[in-house]
Amino acid sequence: MTSTLNRPDRAVHSITIGEAISRLMPDGVPFRFTAYDGSSAGPQDSPIHVHLENKRGLSYLLTAPGDLGVARAYVSGDITMTGIHPGDPYDILMRMQHEAGIRIPPPAEALKLVRGLGWSYLKPPPPPPEEALPRWRRLLEGLRHSKGRDAEAIHHHYDVSNRFYEMVLGPSMTYTCAVFPHAGATLEEAQFAKYDLVCRKLGLKPGMRLLDVGSGWGGMVRHAATHYGVEVVGVTLSREQAAWAQDAIKRDGIDHVAEVRFGDYRDVRDTGFDAVSSIGLTEHIGVRNYSSYFRFLRDKLVPGGRLLNHCITRPVNTTKDTGYFIDRYVFPDGELTGSGRIITEMQNLGLEVRHEENLREHYAMTLKGWSQNLVDNWDECVREVGIGTAKVWGIYMAGSRRSFERNEIQLHQVLAVKPDEGGNAHFPLRPDWLS
């Protein structure tokens, strides 16, 4: 049987695809758009050209409107673009946000558009293989933020390929926001500065014990052990990360004082730590679990011990999922909220919050560096993970960069102390990292 997506239409549509795009972008299409039906929209001399290749792409756009439908068509190759590099489609995202807006039509008008294009396109094609299950399907397979469900979510994103991450992240193998000491700093200098800032905020000194949860490839573990002489236990839910980190720790000659374990942070039984660092983990645990999360970390600390939480946040203190594209292609089950919610949960557990800061501009600069690495290593990245996954990373990082620049998302570091029984926080009057 011939699929309706592949055989010629039997009736002439009342509108072309180009006309439909123009209606959805009444302020003007900020790039050249063409479609397989011969229609077009937007300026002919635009340096960026977007082409809808086939009927499957149109079905993706109509059956999953918004970023998910565009992502499916783009990842599948049903939308192609020239004039930009697939490793960094930042320019087209900026054009769309600066020069045009996509208008969501009212239901009656939306039905007219669909009828004009053809009802047959409302049969959803199978999603690309790079896409995770929808959230409701994942709920049927396991309780959200259970250990098993969290392990699967982490595996989807982090166990792509260590070689791929080496090419995108650079030598530091650090997949969290860097801190740029000045505008001209390199990505590696900025990642070193980030780890050093965390160590100074935690007041690390030789002989102390540090717990690093969500340790990734061991960047914080290795920095603290090498430069501050502390004993460090790291833990990650990614088997690939743990293996890479342990090899790096041995190469650095610090395996007598540092380790990265493969496992859930909730399975760490060690106690009596002088400090705890959580860098880029809170996004994965679920806002409803903040209280139990910070209680667990608090109970790992000695009196006077410090906790630093570093994570992506919202500008407001309401809970919001990350959106269809991010949930299906990047961070399954991810949730974000504001720094106020994080601070409140810490304070309600008796932790004394001593400092917080928003580093969102630094994350935009970090993502720009990662995007450039992807562009520079594009061919090898495609060979390593496939064209679809490489495209996902290109659009994900470019879109995230724009979100940080536009203050749609933020990056907060929150530093808290576990006071002793007398309420003493053992905190300096003016820490050196504030000077």
Task: Name the pLDDT band for 407 (thresholds 50, 70, 90).
Answer: very high
Q: What is the pLDDT of residue 113?
A: 86
| Identity of the residue numbered 258 | A
Residue 314 DSSP class: B
Tokens describing residue 227:
């430069």
Task: Name the pLDDT band for 93 (thresholds 50, 70, 90).
Answer: confident
Let me know the angle formed at the C-alpha of 315 by 288 and 96, rounded to the nearest 5 degrees. 120
DSSP per residue over 89-146, as a string?
Answer: THHHHHHHHHH-------HHHHHHHHHHH-GGGGSPPPPPTTPPPPHHHHHHHS-TT-
| HSE value, Cβ hemisphere, 13 Å, CA-based, for 20 | 23
Q: What is the pLDDT of residue 98?
A: 65
Q: What is the pLDDT of residue 235?
A: 97
Q: What is the pLDDT of residues 97-136, one digit of tens each?
A: 765 566 667 778 888 888 899 888 999 999 998 887 665 4
Q: What is the pLDDT of residue 1?
A: 40
Strand partners, 411: 312
Q: What is the pLDDT of residues 137-186, one digit of tens each?
A: 445 445 555 555 454 544 444 457 899 999 999 999 999 999 999 999 99
Instruction: Report d(CA 314, CA 255) in Å as an integer.
Output: 38
CB-based contacts of 204: which residues, under 8 Å, 6+ apart?
Answer: 210, 224, 228, 230, 274, 275
Average pLDDT over residues 200-215: 97
Please tell me whether residue 88 adopts helix, strand or coil conformation: strand
Backbone angles phi and psi of 329, in degrees to 5: -110, -20
Instruction: Report d(CA 332, CA 144) in Å as an integer.
Output: 10
Q: What is the pLDDT of residues 360-373, one digit of tens each?
A: 999 999 999 999 99
Q: What is the pLDDT of residues 374-384, one digit of tens each?
A: 999 999 999 99
Residue-range domains of the chain with CATH = 17-122 (no CATH), 150-434 (3.40.50.150)
Per-residue burial over 169-182, b = 16 or more CB atoms within 10 Å of its CB, e = otherwise: bbebbbbbbbbbee
Task: Name the pLDDT band for 33 (thresholds 50, 70, 90).
Answer: very high
Burial class (CB in 10 A: 0-12, 13-18, 19+), 269: exposed
Q: What is the pLDDT of residue 24?
A: 87
Q: What is the pLDDT of residue 176?
A: 97
For residue 85, the tally of other CB atoms under 10 A from its CB is: 16
Please determine, for residue 10, whether its predicted confidence score (pLDDT) is greater than 50. no
Tokens describing residue 168:
């995108």
Q: What is the pLDDT of residue 4?
A: 43
Average pLDDT over residues 294-317: 97
